[in-house]
Structure 1
Amino acid sequence: MQRNILTNARIVLPDRTVEGSVVIENERIAEIVADRHYAEGMDMHGLWLAPGIVDIHTDYLEKEINPRPKTNFPLPLAFHMMDQRALACGLTTVLGAVRFSDDGDKQTTLWRGNGLALAEQYEELARTALARHLLHVRWDTNFEPVDELLAQMGRFTCFGNLVYNENIPGQRQFRDMEDLAKKRAARGDLTLEEARERLARQIEVARTINNRPKVLAAFGGILPIGSHDDTTVEHVREAREFGASLAEMPTTLAAAREAKRLGLSVCMGAPNYLRGGSHCGNLGAPEAIAEGLVDILCSDYHFPSLLGAAIKLMSNGTAPHEAFHYVSLAPARHLRRDDDLGSIEAGKLADLIAFEPKETHGVVRAAWVGGAMRLQLSHTVRRASPALEPV
């Protein structure tokens, strides 16, 4: 049996913070011991020791694959850099977003259109990664046929959740039709009038298709289901009708309130909270959190914001264990993996991070996944001197 002890740490437990030690046996937490310093332990020098962050939605991989237009890089390289960056930001479980839709002809990276092509490689790469990696399925609700695609998806084990992404122009996040038409015309291949006509045809066709019932039949009870960018009360009710237990990034207070009323978890972007509001003018996470509407924060597009958001919550008076519920325990519950992940408790997997809070962010000094140290970025995390005696 392999036994490791992390000692002299400020430990964020599910209901309080204690100073002491965490005993790890093999890949799991065996014991949390308050007010004890082990001579044979790894000295944390008073660093915060928190559960590894669980990120249920990130678009980060796209930035590594395609950092600039027409500059694609191979998926193995992109995945490797994402894996290392995740741990350096305190993320031990990461769900990278992959889109399933019928726009493969517009594919500029592996990140759009043909989600199966990405999933095939992603599942193989995840087996040897440092952190835990799954896929967050961004499912377009307005395309057909989907029966064969759903059947093929059933052979993968890398899918962590599925979120409905309705993409009818003028709905949800982007509702200014004239602005959409101008942006399409600005690409250079359409006049403004042609762009308006094409948008009108797209809306007409999309409104005749709703593949949510087929998704629910294929994955209900298998994958956690959510809905993205709900804007109206009707959006939320439709999502719940088709199996959603998560409202992801609702764009209005009305939608967030209805989600909570119906018992859905509400997820907002950590960058939204850390920056003080939505970058595109939608519902601000600070406002939603102040009203008690938010359960989960995700990185969305910026890994450092998750730990930064937890630290900002703490600075604003939120108890540390409550701050980490947003980024660890609540997301683990959404994924139905809280028996193993999301908190520092005896019997759970030892997914842990040691960090130092700064004014605007957190500095991760070390990270463990399944009891194995996967990252060490500071000499201040080291074996305690054999001369020290337990306190």
Structure 2
Amino acid sequence: MNTQLLTNAQIVTPSAHFTGSIEIDNGVIAAIHKDKFYRDGHDLKGAWLIPGCIDIHTDYLEKELHPRSSASFPMPFALHFLDARAASCGITTVFSAISFSDNESKGRNFEQAICMARQFDEVRGSLLLRHFLHARIDPNTHALLDHLSDMALLESLYMVIFNENIPGERQYSLNQQIEMRMKEHGTSWEVTRDKLLAQIQEAREINHRHLIYEAFKDKCVIGSHDDTTVAHILEAHASGSVLAEMPTTLAAARKAKELGMWVCMGAPNYYRGGSHCGNLACVDAMEEDLVDILCSDYHFPTMLGSVVRMIDEGMSPSKAVNMVTLNPARLLRFDEEIGSIAVGLKADLVAFQSERSFASVTSVWVEGVCKMAADYTEKARPLTGAINTIESHTL
């Protein structure tokens, strides 16, 4: 039997926070000991000990694959370093977003997305963490219909999100879209506007949400992205969505909660104090208790950073931690295996210190196996040859 004892930790369970110890047997939490310290255990030196974070939406994958428009890297390379980056931020379950759409302006198409997803399937089992795919599907294109059957065969696909790309809707207004495309293509206001209006008219006549739902209802969690109006939420709910991901207005977030949907906001939005593009601020939604889940969106460190900040601002440790662990586990129906510190669950755990208003992760375990460890107590020493002692030479 492979037994471990983690001791002297600030343990956070779904409903309590206390100093204590945890026993792990064969990758499973076997016992939790409140107010007990064991000399023969692995001393965590008072660090926070929480479940591994579950990130239901990150955009890192496409950034690792294509860090510049003219620079690309292979999937094994990109996913290896995404995996290490996530581990260093206390994330043990990662849902990487891939856009399934025909978006010429962003160089995206369905064939390319499916190729990426198949490569992801091949690589994900060789990594430190648990990895799944989060499909952002454009429901307003007929091209989708030729690829639904291929998408349904993807082993790692577990989340499907309606990601409407009609210009002028949701995240960016029509005028914002016109200005962005004028800069991108160097065209006039009138030409850009007329082209966008034609695209809008064509897209509004197409809606395949029902077909997407039928294709994935037995396999995936279904949600909707960037809902702006009550009508958007009503349409999403009627199309099988159980998640409102990053609603852009309070009205949309309120309606989602009223209908019993989960609401997810971006952790960078909370940590920075507002949306990077001027939409709904997470703190405003939290004031009305409208937010269930925080995801990394585009920045892994802000998940635990937000937990630290929420606790510093008076939220109970359990409520703060649940937003990045138990609540996403419940949404995903993973909560009988991961997402909380409880006897019988897998030992996906993270230890971190929080002295500097953000989290410094010191250890990460997946099913009791240590995947990452860092020691911040010993600082790196300066090199013996200081830079200002180097003699300058005139060429």
Q: TM-score range by the shorter chain?
A: over 0.9
Amino acid aligned to 2:161: V
**Distance apart, 1:379 and its partner CA:** 7.4
Once the two structures are superposed, residues 310-343 of structure 1 have per-residue CA deviations (whole angstroms, 9 ceiling, x without a partner) of: 0100001111111011111101111111111111
1:190 aligns with 2:212: no
Distance 1:81 1:55, change over 3 A: same
Matching residue of 1:133: 131
Partner SS, residue 286 of structure 1:
helix
Amino acid aligned to 1:377: A
Amino acid aligned to 1:214: L
Gaps of 5+ in 1: 382-391
1:336 aligns with 2:337: no
Matching residue of 1:386: none
Once the two structures are superposed, residues 150-171 of structure 1 have per-residue CA deviations (whole angstroms, 9 ceiling, x without a partner) of: 1111222201211101111111
1:99/1:113 contact within 8 Å kept: no
Amino acid aligned to 1:19: T
Matching residue of 1:384: none
Once the two structures are superposed, residues 340-384 of structure 1 have per-residue CA deviations (whole angstroms, 9 ceiling, x without a partner) of: 111101111100000001333100000001110000112779xxx
Partners of 1:106 and 1:285 lie apart in 2 by 29
Matching residue of 2:155: 157
Partners of 1:273 and 1:146 lie apart in 2 by 34
1:310 aligns with 2:321: no
Amino acid aligned to 1:52: G
**Distance apart, 1:178 and its partner CA:** 2.8
Gaps of 5+ in 2: 379-395
Partner SS, residue 202 of structure 2:
helix
Give the 5 Å matches for 1:288-367: 288-367=285-364
Once the two structures are superposed, residues 289-323 of structure 1 have per-residue CA deviations (whole angstroms, 9 ceiling, x without a partner) of: 01100000000000000000001000011111110
2:158/2:219 contact within 8 Å kept: no
**Distance apart, 1:75 and its partner CA:** 2.1
Distance 1:282 1:379, change over 3 A: closer
Matching residue of 2:283: 286
**Distance apart, 1:11 and its partner CA:** 0.7
Matching residue of 2:79: 79
Matching residue of 1:202: 199
Partners of 2:349 and 2:108 lie apart in 1 by 33
Partner SS, residue 96 of structure 2:
strand
Partners of 1:171 and 1:61 lie apart in 2 by 25
1:8/1:21 contact within 8 Å kept: yes
Matching residue of 2:247: 250
Partners of 2:107 and 2:70 lie apart in 1 by 8
Amino acid aligned to 1:146: L
Matching residue of 1:387: none
Matching residue of 2:94: 94
Amino acid aligned to 1:271: P
Matching residue of 1:228: 225
**Distance apart, 1:217 and its partner CA:** 0.7
1:45/1:380 contact within 8 Å kept: no
Partners of 2:185 and 2:50 lie apart in 1 by 50
Amino acid aligned to 1:124: E
**Distance apart, 1:73 and its partner CA:** 2.1
Partner SS, residue 187 of structure 1:
helix
Matching residue of 2:166: 168
Amino acid aligned to 1:135: L
1:143 aligns with 2:141: yes
Matching residue of 1:370: 367
Matching residue of 1:388: none
Distance 1:367 1:56, change over 3 A: same
Matching residue of 1:11: 11
The number of residue pairs the alignment matches comes to 378
Amino acid aligned to 2:188: T
Partner SS, residue 373 of structure 1:
strand
Greater alpha carbon shift after TM alignment, 244-253 vs 36-45: 36-45
Amino acid aligned to 1:133: H
Give the 5 Å matches for 1:11-50: 11-50=11-50
1:60/1:96 contact within 8 Å kept: yes
Amino acid aligned to 2:48: W
**Distance apart, 1:108 and its partner CA:** 4.7
